[in-house]
Amino acid sequence: MTESASTGTDFEPWNDPKAVPLIQFKNVTKRFGDFTAIDNLTLDIYAREFYALLGPSGCGKTTIMRMLAGFETATEGTISLSGQDMAPVPPNKRAINMMFQSYALFPHLNVWDNIAFGLKRSSMAKDQIAARVEEMLRLTQLEKFARRKPHQISGGQRQRVALARSLAKAPKLLLLDEPLGALDKKLRQETQFELVDIQEKTGTTFVIVTHDQEEAMTVASRVAVMDHGKVVQVDTPANIYEAPNSVYVADFIGDINIIEGYATPISDTMVSVDFAEGQPKIHTSCPTGLTAPQRISFAIRPEKLLISTEKPTESANILSGKVVDIAYLGNISTYHVKLASGQMIKAQSANTRRIRRRAITWEDDVWISFTDTAGMVLTT
Amino acid sequence: MKRLSWFNATSLTLGLAFLYLPMVILVIYSFNAGKLVTVWAGFSTKWYGSLFQNEAFMNAAWVTLKVGFISSCLATILGTMAAIVIVRAGRFPGRTLFSGMIYAPLVMPEVITGLSLLLLFIAIGMDRGVLTIILAHTTFSMCYVSVVVSSRLVAFDESLEEAALDLGCTPFDAFKSVTLPIIAPAVISGWLLAFTLSLDDLVIASFTSGPSSTTLPIKIFSAVRLGVSPEINALSTIMIGIVAFGVITVSLTSKRAITRAKREEQKAFADA
């Protein structure tokens, strides 16, 4: 997951103080009656970004998208595109197009006419429209299906028609609402890379809404993790995974062990965590430092833990326990280990060899070890 | 094919006979050579010929078609608009009352509808004629249209309309080029329903018609009171024929459309 997270180039406009954001939300609040869908939201999206809004259903991510498309208006605050306030601009006058979750293909029009639909409503000349539609058909590999109606093509093809239609007008910003939700897993993974490819080819800014964290990690340059109408953290997929700013983000993205404990600073950047009686204290780095002893959550990813039957000789942290459960997933195995103090810890190891017999099995006494930089100290 | 049990065969025969025997007799006697409707005197099509010579019947038929066509068009427009408001406008003060009032004429006794329209036309000093029948028929048939159209609109995916807006349509353009073509089957069946209701309405038309504007049902009803003539049998046979043709055509085309759609869908999955 972390490998695919890097975008390859040094495309980081959010770190450039001179960069001007394409989209700006300033203190945006959206209420539906008594319900606050978006709570005082401020965020910047830069041109050519692939920006993912990630959160559980009902967190407000779709509302953000619908406000960008113009189907909802903010109760308070301003949304601007290229510096222009979007509030008075109706959906049909915005240089923003949207790919709908249900695809919303027009059932009475064939693929060609679906893609041409938006172009016909612009001032574009007829032959230019035809050329543009052909270009879109090529981009999405749909040339063969141009004359088919939406019900005559498969789900994956419909998804590509929806994408072609929303890209045809060359919008400044493309919104994708759970674009791959209706596809099966294998097709979804292929399509994710296609999406990234098309985004790079066209240079369009993409904002994607998804509840699938793997999808967000795969496609996005930056991910905004949302909870109850607030953005909890905005960062690159790698930082979201390796340096979450809260227990919520750590827990939402990927698998993680969370151990509550009492941390005492031992130096500017090191703390020791007392988490259970009779257990050794966890020594871990804490780059921000702690000024005073306090209750914290120690979070560590299962793949950062080393599991062994022999006691490791050198490691910053060594805990002992018993294997309670094993989840064999083919490429990796997850061991559920019960510590002497009762806590359950998940440790993962890659199955790099084709072994006949597991080295570690149920009820085995095992040792779990990790370095002092493998985990994170989270105070919120 | 499974053979019907004797019980089912009997029920089927009895049921069909109950429904269609009167009509079959009517059709048979329309080809009767004699003048008496109860005594068979050989085959003849002369009553059809004399029917087309009968100016009073022809005038009434023309009025009926005119009223049916115009009132069903008006009812379709108004009924569709009402359906859109009820389905789409969300919650607004008086919505329940409004939608209830749209559907009330469905259960209102026709005599009351007819009487109240008559009183209204008298009150505003409107001469009764073709126009008043058209207005009356529009009034009572638009609620049928709105029931048919709103049931289709409920199932309509609103994101289609949003997609049209998103791609640059004005709200009216979105309705015209996306919503309307998709709900067209419901609008057409609403129109057909309104047309049929108008064709066979006797009660409301007799309240709202004037001396110069007799519709076919009124004409038939008054003619029958003077004695049944085989001409009326002939006229009724023609009407049965038209209705049967319409119903069979509609059901055959829709059946064919469904099988075609199914075949194409299977083909799409095979291609994928």
Residue-range domains of chain B with CATH? 54-231 (1.10.3720.10)
Please check whether residue B265 touches A, CB under 8 A: yes
Instruction: Kindly report, residue by residue over A127-158, the tens digit of the pLDDT.
Output: 999 999 999 999 888 999 999 999 889 888 99
Task: Select from A69, A104, A166 the Cβ nearest to the Cβ of B160.
Answer: A104
A113 min Cα distance to partner chain B (Å): 12
- Label residue B29 by pLDDT band (50, 70, 90): confident
What is the per-residue DSSP string for A291-314?
SS-EEEEEEE-GGG-EEESSPPSS
Higher-confidence position of A77 and A268 = A77
Query: What value does the mean pLDDT of chain A take?
Result: 89
- The pLDDT tens digits for A23-32 are 999 999 999 9
The model's pTM: 0.80
The alpha carbon of residue B266 is apart from the nearest alpha carbon of chain A, in Å, by 8
A102 to chain B: closest CA residue: B159
- Tell me which H or E stretch contains B154: helix B130-154
Closest residue of chain B to A93, computed from CA coordinates: B168
Q: Which of A71, A102, A106 sits opposite B178 (nearest CB)?
A: A106
Distance CA(A118)–CA(A115), nearest Å, equals: 7
Walk me through the domains of chain A, giving residue ranges and CATH numbers: 13-95+171-248 (3.40.50.300), 255-378 (2.40.50.140)
- Cβ contacts from A onto B, under 8 A: 78
pLDDT digits (tens, 9 = 90+) for A79-135: 999 989 999 999 999 999 999 988 999 999 999 999 999 999 998 999 999 999 999
Nearest CB partner across the interface for B168, out of A69, A122, A157? A122
On whether any CB of chain A is under 8 Å from the CB of B162, the answer is yes
Q: Among A43-47, A327-331, B97-101, B154-158, which stretch is predicted with the lowest mean pLDDT?
A: B97-101
Percent of chain A predicted with pLDDT > 90: 62
User: What residue in A sits closest to B160 (Cα-Cα)?
Assistant: A104
A282-291: long-range contacts, CB 8 A cutoff, minimum separation 24: A282/A317, A282/A375, A283/A316, A283/A317, A283/A372, A284/A316, A284/A317, A284/A372, A284/A373, A284/A374, A284/A375, A284/A376, A284/A377, A285/A372, A285/A373, A286/A377, A289/A265, A290/A263, A290/A264, A290/A265, A290/A377, A291/A265
**Calpha distance A146→A124 (Å, rounded):** 20
Cβ contact B221:B201 at 8 Å: no
Place of tokens 């099966």: A184
The tens digit of pLDDT for each residue in A269-289 reads 889 999 988 888 999 998 887
B62-72 burial, b if ≥16 CB within 10 A, otherwise e?
ebbeebbebbb
Would you tell me which residues 99-158 of chain A have a C-beta closer than 8 angstroms to some C-beta of chain B?
Answer: 100-102, 104, 106-108, 117-118, 121-122, 148-149, 151-157
